[in-house]
Amino acid sequence: MSRRRDRRWQLVALIGVFFLLSGIIYGKSLNNKFIQWDDGYLIVDNPTVHEISPWSVQEAFRTYDPELYIPLTMLSYQMDHLVWG
């Protein structure tokens, strides 16, 4: 029984260290603004992202750019906008 408990505590400690290191490494990035490479084009100025409707879901799959065909990413952006604004 104590062996199982020791393993559980090791796993909890490992997960805790992982989250702590992730917070230390990436914590400062939460205050940053959007990167101005393609965020404006893909997210901020894209009307497809700002609503979830039959049209916007269809548009996410219909628009095709050979270098940037990302319909599931667009659907994810739509869900993010719905949840977070």
Both 38 and 48 in one domain: the answer is yes
Q: What angle do CA 70, 75, 79 make, to 5 degrees?
A: 145
Both 45 and 81 in one domain: the answer is yes
Both 38 and 62 in one domain: the answer is yes
Both 43 and 75 in one domain: the answer is yes
Band the pLDDT of 3: cuts 50, 70, 90: confident
Q: What is the pTM of this model?
A: 0.54
pLDDT at residue 35, as a whole number: 67
pLDDT at residue 1 is higher than 70: no
pLDDT at residue 61 is higher than 70: yes
- Which position has the token pair 């393993």? 7
Domain count, the chain: 2
Both 7 and 22 in one domain: the answer is yes
Mean pLDDT of 31-42: 75
Both 26 and 50 in one domain: the answer is no
Both 48 and 78 in one domain: the answer is yes
